[in-house]
Structures are given as C-alpha cells and as structure tokens.
Amino acid sequence: GESVGLHLPTLSVQEGDNSIINCAYSNSASDYFIWYKQESGKGPQFIIDIRSNMDKRQGQRVTVLLNKTVKHLSLQIAATQPGDSAVYFCAETFRGSARQLTFGSGTQLTVLP
C-alpha cells in the first residue's frame, strides 16, 4: 500500500503528561510495525517495533499497542518531555516486500512547558 500525507496531524501535550499517537495501517498482510521519531531536518530514528504475533510491547517510557482486527497501531509516551517534541511516524512492512517500509502520514507532537 501507499501512504500519502497531505497534511500533518498535530498533538500538543503538557510536559509530564502521557501522549498517545495513533496510526491506521493499510495492509492486512503487514507483519512488522515500527515507530520512528523524526526531528526537524534529520532522518527517522527508531523508537520501538512490534511483530504481528504480539499486541503490546513496552520499552523505556514507550509502549506500542497493535490491534490487527481494525488495523490500528498506537504509541504511548509516558511522562512526555520537551525532547520528545518531533514528528512521529508509524511504518509497516511484510515479508514478501523485501522489507520495504510503508510510512504513515505522521503526527507532529509538541510538548508544552
């Protein structure tokens, strides 16, 4: 599938609050999902991944939830900090795609002081 981003959804949260960023993916055959953080003028940075045989995975301050029934992915960031301000992308891939990634449209997270 293709992801075309015509606009960038935004999310503003207070410092210290939890953030939830959502993503709808397109391909029911996708079996691996990744969240990336992209700061202005930089390349994407890996945050956390999840395989399709799981529905939840936790990292340091981050949790990814996968709902295959509705093809939905979410990223939860606990105790959001100013350094978390960035654009967050989900990406999907599947075994038969030579591991090409299809990126979602992204969400701009702004952490307010």
Partner 1 sequence: GAVVSQHPSWVICKSGTSVKIECRSLDFQATTMFWYRQFPKQSLMLMATSNEGSKATYEQGVEKDKFLINHASLTLSTLTVTSAHPEDSSFYICSAILPGTGAYNEQFFGPGTRLTVL
Residues that bind partner 1 (CB under 8 A): 2-8, 32, 36, 41-46, 49, 51, 89, 95, 98-106
- Tokens representing 55 are 């529905």
Task: CB nearer to partner 1: give 74 or 78.
Answer: 74
State the minimum distance, in angstroms, from the CB of residue 8 to partner 1.
5
State the minimum distance, in angstroms, from the CB of residue 5 to partner 1.
4
Residue 91 burial class via C-beta count within 10 angstroms: exposed 0-12, middle 13-18, buried 19 and up: buried
State the minimum distance, in angstroms, from the CB of residue 16 to partner 1.
28
> If residue 20 lies in a helix (H) or strand (E), which one and from where to where?
strand 19-24
Answer yes or no: are the C-beta atoms of 29 and 94 closer than 8 Å.
yes
